[in-house]
Structure 1
């Protein structure tokens, strides 16, 4: 992905070094300028072809090509804005993370990585483009996670109220959004109302399925998935719909309802009883001490860890050695004490070590991303976490419901504030600041 300056510099260099050539290689054109970045026509074509491939045999569900191209371009614009914002916030995705993601995708599709490369090539996508696409998606996910951590909070009172009213049903939903800008004018509201009423009229007459209408008309980021929202419990459904949804039959549509993002239509695809059979849940917890050794020189860190371990083997008190030498500021003053924790709480390497020890036993030095560790397992217990798990799951569901509205609002704000110059499909038009 080139910035405009880099792109034009590349063009200038090409013509500067080959001015005498009779022919030059055709250059990729620009589909849109997004702030200091560009979306190339080849990038748009690839994304568009990916969508078309997903709808083979169901082409009648897609809108006309020019509308579909505009929808796909808007997705790319939002993705570019998210990756740029992530970079500004210092969010990074390393090559090793991409390698792991590629390996997981290959495994999920029962392919070797060489077979995955061949499949990508047959689909017209280079391996480098695939990795870059993965990187952008992972940056977007990390930006969303950071957004959730800083913007979304769920109080204990909200969890208590949701648990008290919890029912045993889950609902598979889809929606159509006719978005309105923040501070919409009466004219914009009226146009939005007319559009959503028109969509509802088509659905009522049976002239179009809900999924096809979502693909063609919805302004939601999941429009091309037919507006599918997946399975949700009642507490994950917006309050404007929650009281109504319980009385609907499969396939029925409720709305339009005016929400924070605009006008919405919601369809109950189907419902099911949630699994209530899980009994008491217990986990193994460990109490342990550790010593962390962290040095710029890896060999020096390993040597010091070996020395400290030898002192402990010779009779030195673990807590005293930790207080004097550990580089973990959190536990050092407590003699390396970590308290009670589950096996996966401090990462897989740490968890594997603590699980392999007996109570009272001290590990050999081992390495994690944090540095070199020496670990002493003190004791073990089984803890009933049924209520804790229920509360954690409910907190997560409420948080996801809040995040959906806030994240979509954040994307709309980011889009409205950006400079976007669309140069394909329609006459060039600049929007934003």
Structure 2
């Protein structure tokens, strides 16, 4: 399943954004700012991460809160990243060298470079290529840990999908959201809950007074996306917990909702934009085909000769469907007279699709070859079909999974943080 809410690899998404960070600066003094289990985070690591964030924020034309606030937020992110890597490794999750190589190729391609050009660009900015590889490896470990947590959940049932579709809340408007999270500790006392709610109300008051939401998220939010200004991206109502959906449904861009009580604490939401869910219209084809597949007993040359003989028999007036039943080696369609009944573009591979694209309904193709064997295709009909219902059902399954996965991963991370030894020395 697609894990849209599970963190992917930020390094890959950002391309070469990290290249601008100068890791090679000489530092007269370095010190430990946090002990994480049996590992440590150094002041130099924290400084490098903040430098990278500053350049990102400046590129967006925004500004950061005071350095002390950013340090606290960034250190907590580094702590969580380190804990995720340690937990992944201790539970047997591995990232091979070939996995990292593939990710590096992706980074290079996204920036229009070869691997060697990527290496040179990194080294010219003072970054060791081996260090960049290790950063990508750690990001991949974290991502796979989160995916494992999500995949351990119970499957989404057809009944759940039916209930969601029956709610008439799927397929409507989508919302571009940001959030500010004020956490409440596990098993919090009423006083701790009241204190967190008071902090959330104070933040809301500053927002009502004109404070920029992204700046407020960087300053106050304890959510994983705080340093991105609380950006949640585009969400359909049903990709969100019900208490969020109830607050924002029908709201216009600029709306601020909350504080909303959640199992993790209090959340303030901002609606940045909205859009309509589009109708899904696809082109579908109806065709018949005969395939002769080379085997140990049938050489490629013999397969080609058989398909050409069959093509001549069709041209002489013999029934395509009957010949398909007798001679086609495609077991899934032979008993149906070679019928490929109403399929979307590309379903049966590029070779068949390219042939159909050159034909008109009623025509029979010349023999042609694909990776599977030799073919003849009879193009019967084409139509434009409204597949919005099918798409909505698929979207419903995906959204239910995403919503549940997001909650499960968040619960797992909170538990992991609470159970781990962390000594902050900033």
| Unpaired segments ≥5 residues, structure 2 | 1-26, 301-330, 334-339, 355-364
State how many pairs are aligned. Answer: 349
Q: Find the aligned partners of 1:377 and 1:144 in 2 and give their Cα distance.
A: 45
Q: 1:270 to 1:362 in 2, by over 3 A?
A: closer
String of CA shifts for 1:228-277, please: whole Å, max 9, x gaps.
1111112112211212312322111111110111101111111111222x
1:405-424 alignment runs, 5 A limit: 405-423=407-425
Aligned equivalent of 1:253 = 256
Q: Find the aligned partners of 1:416 and 1:286 in 2 and give their Cα distance.
A: 61
Q: Find the aligned partners of 2:121 and 2:78 in 1 and give their Cα distance.
A: 23
Aligned equivalent of 2:161 = 159
- Structure 2 residue 199 is the aligned partner of structure 1 residue 195: yes
- Structure 2 residue 232 is the aligned partner of structure 1 residue 226: no
Q: Find the aligned partners of 2:376 and 2:288 in 1 and give their Cα distance.
A: 6
String of CA shifts for 1:379-412, please: whole Å, max 9, x gaps.
9999989454432222111211221122111111
Q: 1:188 to 1:61 in 2, by over 3 A?
A: farther
Aligned equivalent of 2:176 = 172
- Across the aligned residues of Structure 1 and Structure 2, the Cα RMSD in angstroms comes to 4.1
Q: Find the aligned partners of 2:374 and 2:184 in 1 and give their Cα distance.
A: 58
Q: Which residue of the other structure, out of 189, 203, 217, is the alignment partner of 2:220?
A: 217
Higher relative contact order (CA 8 A, sep 6+): 2
String of CA shifts for 1:12-58, please: whole Å, max 9, x gaps.
xxxxxxxxxxxxx9785333221122223332222121111112267
Q: 1:338 to 1:26 in 2, by over 3 A?
A: farther
Aligned equivalent of 1:204 = 208
String of CA shifts for 1:136-170, please: whole Å, max 9, x gaps.
11111111112111125322122112223124311
String of CA shifts for 1:316-347, please: whole Å, max 9, x gaps.
xxxxxxxxxxxxxxxxxxxxx999999999xx
Q: Contact 2:346/2:353 (CA < 8 Å) preserved in 1? A: no
Q: 1:125 to 1:362 in 2, by over 3 A?
A: same
1:26-41 alignment runs, 5 A limit: 29-41=31-43
Aligned equivalent of 2:109 = 107
Q: Find the aligned partners of 2:332 and 2:29 in 1 and give their Cα distance.
A: 59
Q: 1:389 to 1:168 in 2, by over 3 A?
A: closer
String of CA shifts for 1:76-117, please: whole Å, max 9, x gaps.
111111112222232221112211211211221223333333
- Structure 2 residue 184 is the aligned partner of structure 1 residue 149: no
Q: 1:413 to 1:257 in 2, by over 3 A?
A: same
1:304-319 alignment runs, 5 A limit: 310=296
Q: 1:157 to 1:310 in 2, by over 3 A?
A: closer
The runs of at least 4 consecutive aligned structure 1 residues that moved more than 4 Å come to 25-28, 57-60, 281-287, 311-314, 337-345, 351-356, 361-364, 375-385
Q: Identify the range of structure 1 (187-196 vs 61-70) with the bigger mean alpha-carbon deviation.
A: 61-70
Q: 1:203 to 1:363 in 2, by over 3 A?
A: closer
Q: Find the aligned partners of 2:36 and 2:332 in 1 and give their Cα distance.
A: 48
Aligned equivalent of 1:264 = 267
| TM-score (normalizing by structure 2) | 0.69
| TM-score (normalizing by structure 1) | 0.68
Aligned equivalent of 2:123 = 121
- 2:65 partner SS: coil
Q: Contact 1:179/1:219 (CA < 8 Å) preserved in 2? A: yes
String of CA shifts for 1:176-223, please: whole Å, max 9, x gaps.
1001112111121111011001000101111x1111101100000100
Q: Find the aligned partners of 2:92 and 2:345 in 1 and give their Cα distance.
A: 30
Deviation at 1:171, TM superposition (A): 0.7
